Structure 1
Amino acid sequence: MSRFDGYVLRQLLVLFGFFLLVLVGVLWISRSVSLFDRLISGGQSAMVFLEFTALSLPTLIRTVMPMAAFGAAVYATNRLSRDSELTVMLATGSSPLRLARPMLYFGVVTALMMAVLTTYLRPASIQQLGLREAEVTRDLTAQLLNEGSFMHPTSGVTFYIGKIDPDGTLHDVFLSDRRDQLRPITYTAARAFLVSTDDQLSLVMVQGMAMRYNSKLKSLSTTLFADFSYDITSLASARSGGKRNLRGVPTTELFSRSGRAALLATGNYDTGEITEELHERLAWIVIVITVPLVGYAAMMMGGFSRFGLWPQALTAFAILLLLEGLRGLATSVVLNHPQLWWLLYLPAGIGLTFSALMLRGSGRPLRLYLHSTRHTRRNA
């Protein structure tokens, strides 16, 4: 690696880190607001929120990494052009293709980061996040012990507590169960207690009333009780469970024939979903090599201007949008036709082709200008 390549590569890595930090921060703030409200209102602690945030970071980083690499390549090329460093290198005989070498090194470095992220860290974090979400869902005690607000532990159930004493006594309890639409029932109680056994969680209500409505007969029956026990274990079982998240399946399992066969045997996934997930992880590795070269090649098109390279930057961004659209289209095709898995790598191939064509045509205005200048000096 030459001194110039190392100089450009250091700039690219610094800019990449900056853009990655900014983009992850913006995306994290937009997503964490709803997550914070959902967890805290459900009675969870701030540590649970931080744990969930940390487990979601690999997915956020993978999402914005291509954009950060693209932004670093475009910004670094624009700064090198503005400082006339690219002009000097081209004037000494270096071709735009030769100057693209640090961009290729940068793409390889980001591809290695993406390989670790998309094949190991992200599936592991999604798998752990699913386990923690199931644990939080089953923790009904933490969800229900939230005074002064209406809570919905599951669909069709509303729970309210007016006040909670330090000893755990609940006051002014309201419980509405509308899971049976024909016969909804509502409980109110002056006091209540949560009683947990080995595998059962019960709400013991004292001095209350039960109101059951019969929609067929259009009648409302009311029952007063001194104490009544209501099993709420079913609320946890209704919300827990579900099929395994394919995004959290280890990459080695997707690669192995036995692993794919086991996933198909569950009946939760088809061949298209498994094939798309496997090759999408690998396609993300290739795309982060392509986007810096696309940004650099587009910025090298045309002549140099003191007004900057904004037209070239817009061209590079348009190509990036085109590649992203092709990736979305390829994903939908592979889901229905898994034998066309190679389409997921087609956007990266198209991006590399665009880069080669643009680099072949770039730098010519400067070379023509230098040639005409030398010719004029000879004649003089």
Structure 2
Amino acid sequence: LLVRAEDGPRLVMFKGLAQVLDTASDRLTITAFDNFTFNLAALVENDFLGKRSFFHLPTRDLLAASPAIQRETGQDRAFLRTEAFARTARALLSVVAAMAGFATLLLGGFSRFGLWRQILGAIVLLALVQFLDNALTQMARIGQAPATIVFVSPAVGLALIGLLLWLSPRLVWLPWRRRGVPVSGVAA
């Protein structure tokens, strides 16, 4: 349990064992305790932590990309803003991945050979969207494009999924979708 104290944070532990190994004498000392408090103030001093990475910053600080944040992280404004927008875009890409599998499965009908065509189609679709995402994110990080361009790849992925969902009931002309449809149009 972490507890805030006047002189810094403290780690409070209940009912446990503390073990100390002395390598010189090859002795292990074990101390049982009911409650134990450890002062963490020395571990969280600024000198110990050093420079923060942009990974450790909240998104609102990345969006602001103040000169102080730029100096602290060693990154420029374009990079920090791109990272902020990319955090949201990555979440949208997970939706694209799930929906791509669903949409491609709807394209195929029953086949005794399995779903390999649909699975391959979903993999190709996701590879193309990821390739586009990597290229656009790199362009935005070096300042060649606005940071919001990272939302293009999830939008393209969602548009392709929308197209697949729109096409799925309309693809009766495909050979593997036509097998269950009677030739005369009347069920026998």
Q: Is TM (by shorter chain) over 0.5?
A: yes
Residue 247 of structure 1 is matched in structure 2 by 55
Residue 352 of structure 1 is matched in structure 2 by 158
Q: Deviations over 1:211-243 (max 9, x none)?
A: xxxxxxxxxxxxxxxxxxxxxxxxxxxxx5542
**By how many angstroms is 1:318 displaced?**
1.5
Change (3 A) 1:356 1:368: farther
Match of 1:165 among 14, 21, 25: 25
Supply the AA of the counterpart residue of 1:271.
Answer: R
Residue 304 of structure 1 is matched in structure 2 by 110
Residue 264 of structure 1 is matched in structure 2 by 70
Query: Percent identity among equivalent residues?
Result: 25
**By how many angstroms is 1:305 displaced?**
1.0
**C-alpha distance in 2, partners of 1:312/1:146?**
61
**C-alpha distance in 2, partners of 1:368/1:342?**
46
Supply the AA of the counterpart residue of 1:292.
Answer: A
Name the structure with the higher helix share.
1
Residue 375 of structure 1 is matched in structure 2 by 186
Aligned-residue CA RMSD in angstroms?
3.2
Which consecutive segments of 4 or more residues in structure 1 shift more than 3 A?
366-377
1:57-96 correspondence runs (5 A): none
Change (3 A) 1:314 1:241: same
Whether the 8 Å contact between 1:243 and 1:268 is mirrored in structure 2 is: no
Change (3 A) 1:368 1:311: closer
**C-alpha distance in 2, partners of 1:296/1:306?**
20
**C-alpha distance in 2, partners of 1:313/1:323?**
15
Give 5+ residue unaligned stretches, structure 1. Answer: 1-141, 148-163, 168-239
**C-alpha distance in 1, partners of 2:122/2:70?**
41
**C-alpha distance in 2, partners of 1:355/1:146?**
62
Residue 43 of structure 2 is matched in structure 1 by none
Supply the AA of the counterpart residue of 1:272.
Answer: A
Whether the 8 Å contact between 1:275 and 1:341 is mirrored in structure 2 is: yes
**By how many angstroms is 1:263 displaced?**
0.7
**C-alpha distance in 2, partners of 1:373/1:146?**
88
- Report how many aligned residue pairs link the two structures: 145
Match of 1:294 among 100, 122, 134: 100
**By how many angstroms is 1:355 displaced?**
1.1
Supply the AA of the counterpart residue of 1:342.
Answer: T
Change (3 A) 1:146 1:322: farther
TM-score by length of 1: 0.33
TM-score by length of 2: 0.63
1:1-380 correspondence runs (5 A): 164-165=24-25, 242-255=50-63, 257=64, 260-266=66-72, 268-337=74-143, 339-363=145-169, 364-365=171-172, 366=177, 369-370=180-181, 372=183, 374-375=185-186
Whether the 8 Å contact between 2:105 and 2:119 is mirrored in structure 1 is: yes
Supply the AA of the counterpart residue of 1:335.
Answer: R
Supply the AA of the counterpart residue of 2:102.
Answer: Y
**C-alpha distance in 1, partners of 2:81/2:111?**
47
Supply the AA of the counterpart residue of 2:165.
Answer: L
**C-alpha distance in 1, partners of 2:26/2:83?**
50
Q: Deviations over 1:138-194 (max 9, x none)?
A: xxxx9xx985xxxxxxxxxxxxxxxx1369xxxxxxxxxxxxxxxxxxxxxxxxxxx
**By how many angstroms is 1:307 displaced?**
2.4
- Larger Rg over CA atoms: 1
**C-alpha distance in 1, partners of 2:60/2:109?**
49
Change (3 A) 1:306 1:267: closer
